[in-house]
């Protein structure tokens, strides 16, 4: 996969911003926003989308699936397409292969696609099997998995058994996190054993049960990697319920208030904050740029992380990336 230079991104955004006041043509642009599920991560992304839409004077149609999955997201997508007024769709595909077909149908009706947070195919929109989206704007999740592994390894002193709780197969984001995590554990920490991975289907209660079962089955477990909001919250809850807070260390992907509380309590040792506001805001800016005729938009933008631990959690420059959502 190609890395996009910062210069490329800045040039593209400058092209948008230099247009000044939104033109009449831009005013007519309607953005469809279809994230993966209701959760704090996508709520912050929605705030970013709304901010950019307001700044550019666009229209916005948002539909948020109540649960994760192709079977839920596809009919919502079809209904958005059937409206006939969406120009650009900002979507987090819930499966890297199965959402290709439904999105191609949307494309055929003239809707241009920008993927955020998750990608289609292998995410290489230049040379990969899927090239029709304008761009993928999101985290480098393999790298996020590597960061998580090093954080967990440090917390457990570089030795012992650890476990991964994740959401679904074939989702680029969480799949990448597990790949990066396993890669680092295999290559850098010979005394750490990854004993397995469970899929909780994006359900926190399932994550609690799975982690509790693993804690019983593997009494010498010392660490858990929760690959997203629900996985990490479920893992942390199970560890606390078992009275193992501070004994079994949890690394939490996604900076929810819950994860931060557990960091302060010593249950979680590291929280990886993604930048969902940036993903949402930039996706709408990319739509604006494309509509203006910009042809050199980066096909992939990595939005980066804030790595939060007990030492820096109160530093405003770090704390600003904790997901703040309206109650
Ligand atoms: O971790 C995020 C997102 O990046 C992932 O694709 C799905 O789960 C979350 O939305 C958190 O619940």
What is the per-residue pLDDT across 104-151, written as a single tens digit (0 to 9) for each?
999 999 999 999 999 999 999 999 999 999 999 999 999 999 999 999
Angstrom distance (rounded) from CA 52 to CA 66: 24
How much is the pLDDT for 86? 98
Q: Residue 41 Cα, ligand 1 centroid: separation in angstroms?
A: 6
Atom of ligand 1 nearest to the CA of 139: 4
Measured over the CA atoms of residue 19, residue 21, residue 25 and residue 27, the dihedral's sign is: positive
Q: What does the pLDDT look like over 148-162, one tens digit per residue?
A: 999 999 999 999 999
How much is the pLDDT for 6? 39
What SS3 string covers the chain?
A: CCCCCHHHHHHHHHHHHCCCCCCHHHHCCEEEEECCCCCHHHHHHHHHHHHHHHHHCCEEEECCCCCCCHHHHHHHHHHHHHHCCCCEEEECCCCCCCCHHHHHHHHHCCCEEEEECCCCCCCCCCCCCCCCCCCEEECCHHHHHHHHHHHHHHHCCCCEEEEEEECCCCCHHHHHHHHHHHHHHHHHCCCEEEEEEEECCCCHHHHHHHHHHHHHHCCCEEEEEECCHHHHHHHHHHHHHCCCECCEEEEEECCCHHHHHHHHCCCEEEEEECCHHHHHHHHHHHHHHHHCCCCCCCCEEECCCEEECCCCCCCHHHHCCCCCCCC
What is the average per-residue pLDDT within 251-261? 98
Q: Do the beta carbons of residue 195 and residue 162 sit within 8 Å? A: yes
Atom of ligand 1 nearest to the CA of 39: 12
**Other beta carbons within 10 Å of 217:** 11
Q: What does the pLDDT look like over 265-306, one tens digit per residue?
A: 999 999 999 999 999 999 999 999 999 999 999 999 999 999
pLDDT surpassing 80 at residue 226: yes
Domains of the chain: 4-139+275-304 (3.40.50.2300), 141-273 (3.40.50.2300)
Residue with the larger pLDDT of the pair 8 and 268 = 268
What is the average per-residue pLDDT within 205-214? 98
% of the chain at pLDDT higher than 70: 92
Name residues contacting ligand 1 (CB within 6 A). 36, 39, 41-42, 117-118, 173, 228-230, 253-254, 274
Atom of ligand 1 nearest to the CA of 118: 6
How much is the pLDDT for 46? 98
pLDDT surpassing 70 at residue 192: yes
Q: What does the pLDDT look like over 54-109, one tens digit per residue?
A: 999 999 999 999 999 999 999 999 999 999 999 999 999 999 999 999 999 999 99
pLDDT surpassing 50 at residue 21: no
Protein residue with least CA distance to atom 10, ligand 1: 41
Protein residue with least CA distance to atom 5, ligand 1: 173
Protein residue with least CA distance to atom 12, ligand 1: 229
Atom of ligand 1 nearest to the CA of 274: 4
Q: Residue 37 Cα, ligand 1 centroid: separation in angstroms?
A: 8
Protein residue with least CA distance to atom 2, ligand 1: 228
How much is the pLDDT for 28? 81
Atom of ligand 1 nearest to the CA of 138: 4
Angstrom distance (rounded) from CA 235 to CA 209: 9
């Amino acid at each position: 996969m190609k890395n996009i230079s910062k210069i490329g991104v800045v040039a593209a955004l400058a092209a948008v911003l230099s247009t000044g006041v939104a033109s009449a043509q831009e005013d007519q642009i309607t953005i469809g926003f279809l994230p993966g599920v209701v959760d704090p991560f996508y709520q912050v992304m929605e705030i970013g989308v709304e901010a950019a839409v307001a700044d550019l004077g666009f229209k916005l149609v948002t539909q948020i699936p109540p649960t994760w999955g192709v079977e839920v997201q596809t009919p919502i997508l079809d209904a958005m397409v059937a409206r006939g007024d969406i120009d650009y769709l900002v979507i987090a595909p819930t499966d890297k292969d199965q959402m290709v077909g439904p999105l191609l149908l949307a494309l055929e009706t003239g809707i241009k696609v920008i993927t955020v947070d998750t990608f289609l195919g292998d995410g290489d929109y230049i040379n990969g099997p899927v090239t029709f989206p304008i761009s993928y704007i999101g985290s480098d999740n393999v790298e996020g998995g590597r960061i998580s592994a090093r954080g967990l390894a440090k917390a457990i002193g570089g030795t012992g058994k650890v476990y991964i709780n994740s959401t679904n197969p074939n989702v680029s984001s969480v799949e990448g996190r597990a790949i990066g995590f396993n890669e680092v554990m295999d290559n850098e920490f010979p005394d750490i054993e990854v004993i397995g991975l469970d899929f909780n289907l994006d359900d926190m209660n399932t994550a609690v049960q799975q982690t509790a079962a693993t804690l019983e089955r593997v009494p010498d477990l010392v660490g858990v990697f929760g690959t997203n909001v629900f996985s990490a919250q479920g893992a942390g809850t199970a560890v606390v319920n078992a009275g193992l807070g501070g004994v079994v260390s949890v690394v939490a992907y996604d900076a929810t208030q819950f994860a931060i509380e557990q960091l302060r309590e010593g249950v979680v040792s590291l929280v990886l904050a993604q930048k969902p506001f940036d993903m949402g805001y930039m996706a709408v800016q990319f739509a604006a740029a494309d509509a203006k005729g910009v042809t050199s938009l980066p096909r992939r933008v990595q939005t980066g992380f804030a790595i939060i631990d007990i030492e820096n959690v109160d530093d405003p420059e770090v704390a600003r990336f904790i997901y703040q959502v309206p109650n």
